[in-house]
Amino acid sequence: MASEYRALRASVLLLWGRDQSLDAGSLQDVIRFNEAIDQALAESIRFFSAQVDRSRNLLIGMLGHDMRSPLNAITLTAEVLACLHAGEEVSEAARCLMDSGAEMESLLNDLVDFSRKKLGLGIGIEVGPVDLGALCANEVRQQRAAHPGCQLELTLDGDLHGLWDVARLRQVLRNLLSNAIAYGAAGHPVILAASGQDLEVCLEVRNTGATIDANSAQRIFEPLQRATADGSRANRKGLGLGLFIVREITQAHGGRVVLHSADSETRFSVLLPRVASA
């Protein structure tokens, strides 16, 4: 497309230059013509890029949606195998299938939410009564089963009941805990703390390890961004969407996410109004 505009400009200017009747005032016409070509080219490229982005996001969204059915079939089959008690080898294989299915489902959820955000649909929430303490305890229990070598600690304080989207908050907890486990130093605990105040509830996930430098902290919540001062986050597995999804879900509830990383400790704090603004 840019080549076509360049050829058009060259052809018109060539014919213009062959006109022997041109006078000094024609220079202004040539300048205006070049400005018009530049503006048309910029608008065309912007429109084309938007269409490409939209098509890509639609493809990602449809792919994530269509992959759920075979994934559910795999997960249900694994659960049936686990219930058969057909021997330790079969049970272990079933557990591996369920763990892999849960990880794949998490990636698909992030992909679908990312595509919804890029398409302008936002991240929808369905508000209902939630016991955040029970939700945290359940998520910590699942993470301990998935990461038996990691030390996970849970502290609960105050009233942790409110009106939120339970599935979305489970997604926030899973992303933050998985992130802390992946980047935390071996031998040091990952701590999940939940405390209830009068008007809001605070969720904190803390881990010890390499801290996040100031430049990375400014963009770590953007999609496909992972970095620390020593580059230890640059080569990790995953899509780099976890913290982006955490921020979007928190904002959909009317809350905010605060990052503090210093003195070998990284802390993500999710502050939620007791009643989600949605």
pLDDT digits (tens, 9 = 90+) for 226-242: 654 444 544 455 556 78
Q: Summarize the confidence of residues 270-278 as an average pLDDT.
A: 85
**Does 133 score more than 90 pLDDT?**
yes
| pLDDT digit string, tens, across residues 203-227 | 999 999 888 887 787 788 877 666 5
| pLDDT digit string, tens, across residues 156-192 | 999 999 999 998 899 899 889 988 998 888 889 999 9
Judged by average pLDDT, the poorest of 41-50, 112-121, 210-219 is 112-121
- Residue whose C-alpha is closest to residue 112's, from 123, 101, 102: 123
What percent of the chain clears pLDDT 70, i.e. is strictly above it? 86
Which pLDDT score is estimated for 164?
94
Which pLDDT score is estimated for 46?
87
| pLDDT digit string, tens, across residues 74-103 | 778 888 878 877 788 888 888 788 877 777
| pLDDT digit string, tens, across residues 9-38 | 888 888 887 776 667 677 788 888 889 989
CA distances from 77 to 72, 83, 116, 171, 204 (A): 8, 10, 30, 24, 36
Which pLDDT score is estimated for 20?
60
Which pLDDT score is estimated for 229?
44
What percent of the chain clears pLDDT 90, i.e. is strictly above it? 26
Which pLDDT score is estimated for 119?
63
Q: What is d(CA 165, CA 90) in angstroms, rounded to the nearest whole number?
A: 36
Q: What is d(CA 268, CA 258) in angstroms, rounded to the nearest whole number?
A: 6
Q: How confident is the model at residue 124 (pLDDT cuts 50, 70, 90)?
A: confident
Chain position carrying tokens 């210093």: 262
